[in-house]
Structure 1
Amino acid sequence: MVNSVEQRNYILRIINPKLDFPEIHLQKGSSLGIFTRDYKKTLKNLFKILTNPDKFSEKVTVNDLIANNSSWIGRSFSHLVIPELWDKNILEILKEKPDRRHLIVISASDDDIKSEEYSEISDLCSLYKKDGAVLIITDSKNLIEATSDEVLDEKGNKISYKTGQFFEDMNGKEIEDVNKIESNLKNIKFKKMKILRDDTTGELNIEDLFK
């Protein structure tokens, strides 16, 4: 059932979750990435919270409607981009989004995505944010960097990053001079952020990301 309406322009809020899932306040026009080792478990916890908000959280709102032991009020507002669920690739599912679905939930791994698809995925997420918001749950650094405005781990800890426009070739090497990008943009990965790396090794500092 729906208890009341709160006009604060939130697409999704999960307050004080009682499972391993971050508290989130996802506003219209934003995208949030949850970077986790076990993205399937984190996605399962999200569904548990949404389908039984009284049991697994203090409060859940979808499109500013307060959900309280509903059969997931968010179903009519949400578009689930989960390759394993639909047996389709991410781009196909994203392009099939109905007009009135304002919460886009993406959950996938690197194995589900071709390297040349990241730029178009990024463009579609930016387009859909104009009328809604995007939540990404993944173990893929590439997917997080292509789609997210902010990134957390599954416990709600913020992960350091820098924002901007970043271009990589298919081998993951950053292209610093945009003028050197050849005309075939299908061979270029566009990213909105870069998760910070260890300065000495060039590798992700996993201890810092998940402490």
Structure 2
Amino acid sequence: MKNGVSTITFAALIQAALTGTPKYNNQRFGLAVLAYARRMCRARAPDLPDHLIEDVAQEAIANLFASGPSALSMTPPMKLLRHAMLAAIRKVRADHAPPGQRTRRYREEPRDRVAAEDAARIPNTATIEAATVRQGEHAAIDVNDFPCPAAERAIMEAEQRITIDRALAKLPPNIAQALRLVRLEERPMSEVAALAGISRFVLHRRIEQHCAVFRMAA
């Protein structure tokens, strides 16, 4: 006590409220929590209406008492109240939020995003125009006329494979098989050489001798 005025700290007031010793002033404790709720709401929930701050304070007190005196052995009083206050803000915000509305604000408005691999699938003006079917004053888009990148890649790969097979057919069978294993199936040179019964250096030399045809096809 100083100059006849009690100087009990807020932390001591919280501890007294939870433990009951020493006897605490209920009104003083409530006013202190309400003042703390105002500060927390300004910092953490500035969009929360002022008339809900008292609800936040009451909810925080309920959360605090629900934690019980045993919580003080693990958490300092002010930190305990802070956790109780943040939980109270979330609950009050959720209780008063309109249906379907987020109970937490975005830090910034979310932006519409397109995955990089899907960017090529967005039709441009020329593609849309080419797929537009007109009948008199009416117009409609035939989505079946839109190009399909996956289908185009599959066709290209099939055509390339046919070209490679034709090129390999012109080579000696053992060289064609070695090229197929090494270049297409990416098998190790040493493994292919062992299958052919020759050294990897001999295999490499033979492949290089006939590789021009393969490179032109690939």
Q: TM-score range by the shorter chain?
A: under 0.3
**Bigger Rg, structure 1 or 2:** 2
Structure with the higher fraction of residues in strand conformation: 1
Q: TM-score, normalised by structure 2?
A: 0.19
Q: Give TM-score scaled by structure 1 length.
A: 0.20
